[in-house]
């Protein structure tokens, strides 16, 4: 986000002498490549604010992603907000990497700093049955975002004031955005006719229903 | 019940819990708010959402990148063009595609027309909720003209599907620019007309000034974006902070409020419509020539990686977070919905107000449940 995609003052598309370089939209797209970002200013700043926080840092398409330890995310989030000025948590979500050995889920935090308009992504790796410390105490906005991640992925947030389902209903079986949840959906009769289908009575998706 | 009675401080008063919605015309869709009331006063409010959940993010994972665009139309269905813009912008960012200047200008025109269309719906329904019937008819008349322009450009009026990765699917039709100019030229007079109906209207002011106040610090804490943030005095707009589609080449102002109440948010949105007109006039004056589509591969396969890209939608910052595993379908495509985040601040804004003020605050947040529930 920090760079602007469109070059300013680009050449007009009128007929040009053959020597002139083609404008970028007539060339093949230049794919961004990931780069190690340990020396990036934003990462150095974070490393200075919190000791041993950075596990891995990658820059891709102008956006910096820092992988940090799961247990320390609330502490690091607080340091980012209070020491580094990332007062605005733009987005919080998760990604399911089904069979990854170092933890099934990535929980992703995307923060914004108003002073110089830069953004930084924090990422923690979470196993299927481990909890992540909640950041609702740091940014109030994280409340519904964490509820959504819990609802959609079944990631538990320790210390969340009100961790309930938000888009589906209580008693829904499974977590729809997990990769092993069937795309065609499940029989959700359980909640509509509770006397016919007891809660939790529908087919279990991924074997980890509530 | 017996427990409640035993702790009751005033035996002749009682708190009541009622469910406001989900089927209520003033909730702008299927929003349910659980209210705890002390008489007419709101003690606490709890929004209950999800009635319109369609699993859009799950559906995204089975579509190709261009195939996801029609699904974005159905998120915030009053602002399909800006939804399209956010999605194609995200995919273009991860692909490293540069859009031709003419395509960028067409996008900006569609997006600004869409912003006006969305704000006209907001104004009409918000005023209707508060009790002013007539603005609704006037605003929808203007919106109809914008939908006609959309229909002429891409054949659809609401679910536009009007952008593609790499540029625009269609060239502008003959005479579209003139018809757009005709609309743009007469529109500021319409805004002035609506302002004459409302801005100095005593009832309107009584119903909106000091209602649903949120401070600037609180607005940032709750992650508000768009007019609710700017109404609290924070000058922040994605179009200025991270210019996309050459927004940095246009001259426009970011209106801000001072008090963070419903009236200020109303003034901010009215001014935004005028600024959109300014942008449209600049687009129409210097519409670049050239192709409308960049050179992109037929099958879009972004490299492995992750990218977040956002645009300033009419409701606030609308972002898409794309995770690619190198395949032709997104591995994960997450929406950062502006309305969902803005609605979260509702309890904070209505505590201590009257039930009638809740209607005003829901209106001023300008929520669309299609985007909240996805």
Query: How many interface pairs between A and B have CB atoms less than 8 angstroms apart?
Result: 164
- Digit-coded pLDDT (tens) for A53-66: 788 888 888 889 99
Considering only A81-95, A98-112, A124-138, A179-193, which range has the smallest mean pLDDT?
A179-193
Min Cα distance A66 → chain B (Å) is 12
Rounded distance between C-alpha atoms, residue B230 and residue B272, angstroms: 11
| CATH ID of B59-373, from 1.20.120.1780, 3.40.50.150, 3.40.462.20, 1.10.645.10 | 1.10.645.10
Enumerate the residues of chain B whose CB falls inside 8 A of the CB of residue A10. 101
B325 touches A99 (CB < 8 A): no
CATH number given to A31-164: 3.30.460.80
Q: Is the pLDDT of residue A201 over 60?
A: no
According to the model, what pLDDT value does residue A189 have?
Answer: 57
Residue A89 and residue B288: Cβ atoms within 8 Å?
no
Give the pairing of strands A118-126 and A63-67.
parallel
Q: pLDDT tens for residues B212-266?
A: 899 999 999 898 999 999 999 888 899 988 998 888 889 899 999 888 899 999 9
pLDDT at residue A199 is higher than 60: no
Task: Walk across the sheet containing B332-336 and list its strands.
Answer: B305-312, B317-324, B332-336
Q: Where are the domains of chain A?
A: 31-164, 168-210
The alpha-carbon gap from A89 to the nearest alpha carbon of chain B, in Å, equals 7
DSSP 8-class letter at A169? -
Number of C-beta neighbours around residue A48 at 10 A: 11
Task: State whether residue A185 sits within 8 Å of chain B by CB.
Answer: yes
Whole-complex ipTM = 0.85
Q: What pLDDT is recorded for position A207?
A: 45
pLDDT the model gives residue B25: 74
DSSP label at residue B164? B
| Residue in B with minimal Cα distance to A27 | B295
Kind and range of the H or E run holding A156? strand A156-158
Q: Is A75 helix (H, G, I), strand (E, B) or coil?
A: helix
- Enter the pTM of the model: 0.84
Is the peptide bond preceding residue B22 cis, with omega within 30 degrees of 0? yes
**Which residues of chain A have a CB within 8 Å of the CB of B303?**
31-33
CA dist B231 and B234 (Å) reads 7
- CA–CA gap between residue B30 and residue B271 (Å, rounded): 29
Residue of A nearest to B374 (CA): A167
Task: Find the CB nearest A95 among B296, B307, B323.
Answer: B323
Q: Which two structure tokens, joined as six digits, stand for A111?
A: 């923060």
Q: Is A91 an 8 Å CB contact of chain B?
A: yes
Q: Which residues of chain B fall short of a pLDDT of 50?
A: 1-2, 4
Whose CA is closest to B95, among A65, A27, A1, A32? A32
Residues of chain B in contact with residue A88, where contact means CB-CB under 8 angstroms, are 220, 223
Query: Looking at residue B290, what is its pLDDT?
Result: 86
- Classified as helix, coil or strand, B278 is helix
Closest CA to B60 of B320, B310, B313, B315: B320
CA distance A190 to A210: 12
The secondary structure of residue B70, as a DSSP letter, is H
């Amino acid at each position: 986000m920090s760079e602007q995609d469109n070059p300013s003052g680009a050449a007009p598309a009128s007929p040009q002498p053959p020597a002139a370089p083609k404008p970028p939209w007539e060339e093949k797209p230049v794919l961004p490549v990931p780069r190690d970002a340990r020396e990036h200013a934003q990462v150095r700043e974070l490393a200075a604010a919190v000791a041993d926080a950075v596990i891995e840092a990658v820059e891709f398409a102008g956006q910096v992603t820092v992988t940090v330890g799961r247990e320390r995310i609330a502490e690091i989030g607080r340091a980012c907000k209070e020491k580094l000025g990332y007062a605005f948590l733009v987005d919080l979500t998760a990604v399911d990497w089904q069979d990854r050995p170092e933890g099934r889920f990535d929980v992703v935090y995307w923060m914004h700093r108003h002073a110089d308009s830069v953004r930084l992504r924090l990422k923690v790796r979470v196993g299927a049955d481990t909890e992540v410390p909640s950041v609702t105490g740091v940014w109030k906005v994280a409340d519904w975002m964490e509820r959504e991640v819990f609802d959609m992925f079944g990631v538990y947030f320790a210390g969340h004031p009100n961790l309930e389902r938000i888009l589906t209903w209580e008693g829904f079986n499974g977590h729809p955005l997990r990769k092993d949840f069937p795309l065609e959906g499940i029989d959700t009769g359980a909640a509509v006719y509770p006397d016919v289908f007891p809660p939790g009575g529908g087919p279990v998706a991924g074997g980890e229903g509530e | 019940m017996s427990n409640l009675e035993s702790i009751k401080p005033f035996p002749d008063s009682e708190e009541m819990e009622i469910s406001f919605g989900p089927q209520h015309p003033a909730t702008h869709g299927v929003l349910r708010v659980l209210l705890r009331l002390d008489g007419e006063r709101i003690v606490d409010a709890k929004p209950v959402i999800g009635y319109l959940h369609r699993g859009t993010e799950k559906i995204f994972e089975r579509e190709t990148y261009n195939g996801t665009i029609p699904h974005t139309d159905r998120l915030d269905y009053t602002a399909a063009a800006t939804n399209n813009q956010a999605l194609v912008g995200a995919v273009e960012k991860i692909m490293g595609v540069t859009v031709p200047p003419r395509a960028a200008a067409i996008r900006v025109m569609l997006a600004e027309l869409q912003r006006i269309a969305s704000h006209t719906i907001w104004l009409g329904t918000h005023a209707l909720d508060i009790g002013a019937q007539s603005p609704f008819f006037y605003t929808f008349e203007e919106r109809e003209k914008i939908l006609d322009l959309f229909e002429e450009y891409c054949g659809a009026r609401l679910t536009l599907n009007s952008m593609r990765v790499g540029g625009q699917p269609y060239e502008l039709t003959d005479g579209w620019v003139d018809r757009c100019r005709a609309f743009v030229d007469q529109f500021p007079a319409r805004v002035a007309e609506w302002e004459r109906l409302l801005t100095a209207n005593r009832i309107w002011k009584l119903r909106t000034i000091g209602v649903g106040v949120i401070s600037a610090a609180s607005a940032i804490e709750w992650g508000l974006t768009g007019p609710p943030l700017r109404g609290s005095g924070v000058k922040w707009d994605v179009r200025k902070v991270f210019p996309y589609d050459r927004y940095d080449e246009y001259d426009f102002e970011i209106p801000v409020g001072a008090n963070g109440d419903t009236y200020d948010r109303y003034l901010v949105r009215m001014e935004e419509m005028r600024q959109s007109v300014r942008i449209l006039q600049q687009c129409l004056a210097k519409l670049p020539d050239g192709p409308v589509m960049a050179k992109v591969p037929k099958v879009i396969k972004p490299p492995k990686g992750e990218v977040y890209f956002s645009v300033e939608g009419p409701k606030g910052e609308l972002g898409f977070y794309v995770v690619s595993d190198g395949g032709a379908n997104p591995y994960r495509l997450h929406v950062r919905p502006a309305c969902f985040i803005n609605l979260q601040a509702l309890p904070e804004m209505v505590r201590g107000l009257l039930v009638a003020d809740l209607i005003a605050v829901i209106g001023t947040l300008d929520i669309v449940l299609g985007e909240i529930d996805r």
